[in-house]
Amino acid sequence: MTTRRSALAGLGAATGLALSPAPVCAHKRAVKPPRLREGDVVGLVEPAGYTSGPEALARVRHTVEGMGLVPRFGAHVGERFGYLAGTDEQRASDINAMFADGEVRAIFAIRGGWGSARILSLLDWGLIRRHPKLLVGFSDVTGLHLAFAAKAGYPTISAPNMASSWLKTSWESFWWLAFAGSAPVLGGARADLPIPFGTITPGKARGRMLGGNLTVLAALVGTPWLPDFDGAILFLEDIGEAEYRIDRMLSQLSLSGILGRLSGVVFGQCTRCATEEPDYAGFTVPDVVRQWVEPLGVPAFLGANIGHIRNQLSIPLGVEVEIDAGAGTIAVLEAVVS
Structural domain contains residue 82: yes
Structural domain contains residue 174: no
Based on the fold, state whether residues 137 and 271 are members of the same structural domain: no
Exactly one of 76, 170, 173, 308 is catalytic; name it. Answer: 308
| Rama region for 68: left / alpha / beta (φ>0; ψ in -120 to 50; rest) | left
Going by pLDDT thresholds of 50, 70 and 90, the confidence category of residue 29 is: low
Sheet holding 320-324, edge to edge: 17-20, 183-187, 329-332, 320-324, 204-213, 233-239, 264-271, 300-302, 198-201
Based on the fold, state whether residues 188 and 337 are members of the same structural domain: yes
Structural domain contains residue 218: yes
Based on the fold, state whether residues 318 and 227 are members of the same structural domain: yes
Based on the fold, state whether residues 206 and 113 are members of the same structural domain: no
Based on the fold, state whether residues 280 and 199 are members of the same structural domain: yes
**Helix runs in the chain, H state only:** 54-66, 88-100, 125-130, 142-147, 168-174, 214-219, 243-255, 285-293
Based on the fold, state whether residues 35 and 107 are members of the same structural domain: yes
Strand 198-201, strand 70-73: pairing? unpaired
- Of the candidate ranges 48-52, 137-141, 268-272, the one whose mean pLDDT is the lowest: 48-52
Q: How far is CA 51 from the centre of its chain?
A: 20
Q: What is the pLDDT of residues 90-127, one digit of tens each?
A: 999 999 999 999 999 999 999 999 999 999 999 999 99
Calculate mean pLDDT across residues 50-73.
95
What predicted TM-score, i.e. pTM, was given to this entire model?
0.92
Q: How far apart, in Å, are the Cα atoms of 116 and each of 52, 165, 245?
A: 18, 21, 21
The residue from 137, 166, 195 where one domain ends is 166
CATH number of the domain to which 39 belongs: 3.40.50.10740
Structural domain contains residue 259: yes
- The yes-or-no verdict on residue 333 having pLDDT over 60 is yes
Based on the fold, state whether residues 195 and 160 are members of the same structural domain: no
What phi and psi values does residue 140 have, to the nearest 5 degrees?
A: -65, -20
Q: How far apart, in Å, are the Cα atoms of 168 and each of 8, 16, 69, 173, 232?
A: 12, 10, 17, 8, 28
Question: How many CB atoms neighbour CB 20 within 10 A?
Answer: 13
Structural domain contains residue 19: no
Q: What span, in angstroms and rounded, lies between the C-alpha atoms of 78 and 285?
A: 36
Do the Cβ atoms of 142 and 158 come closer than 8 Å? yes
Instruction: List the domain range (segments joined by +) for residue 150.
Output: 29-166
Closest CA to 267 of 231, 298, 227: 298
The residue from 166, 197, 215 where one domain ends is 166
Confidence (pLDDT) at 30: 57
CATH number of the domain to which 240 belongs: 3.50.30.60
Based on the fold, state whether residues 265 and 151 are members of the same structural domain: no
The residue from 141, 166, 191 where one domain ends is 166
Active site residue 139: yes
Exactly one of 76, 145, 170, 237 is catalytic; name it. Answer: 237
Question: How many CB atoms neighbour CB 288 within 10 A?
Answer: 23
Amino acid at 41: V
Structural domain contains residue 171: no
Based on the fold, state whether residues 215 and 119 are members of the same structural domain: no
Q: Is 34 exposed, middle or buried (0-12, 13-18, 19+ CB in 10 A)?
A: middle
Active site residue 62: no
Exactly one of 139, 158, 182, 263 is catalytic; name it. Answer: 139
Q: What is the pLDDT of residues 288-314, one digit of tens each?
A: 999 999 999 999 999 999 999 999 999
Active site residue 237: yes
Q: What is the pLDDT of residues 216-235, one digit of tens each?
A: 999 999 999 999 999 999 99
Q: What span, in angstroms and rounded, lies between the C-alpha atoms of 123 and 91?
A: 10
Q: What span, in angstroms and rounded, lies between the C-alpha atoms of 272 and 164?
A: 17
Based on the fold, state whether residues 190 and 334 are members of the same structural domain: yes
Beta carbons within 8 Å of 334's beta carbon, 6+ residues apart: 22, 23, 25, 27, 183, 319, 320
Structural domain contains residue 329: yes
Question: How many CB atoms neighbour CB 26 within 10 A?
Answer: 8
Structural domain contains residue 269: yes
- The yes-or-no verdict on residue 171 having pLDDT over 80 is yes
Q: What span, in angstroms and rounded, lies between the C-alpha atoms of 296 and 299?
A: 9
Based on the fold, state whether residues 158 and 202 are members of the same structural domain: no
Number of domains comprising the chain: 2
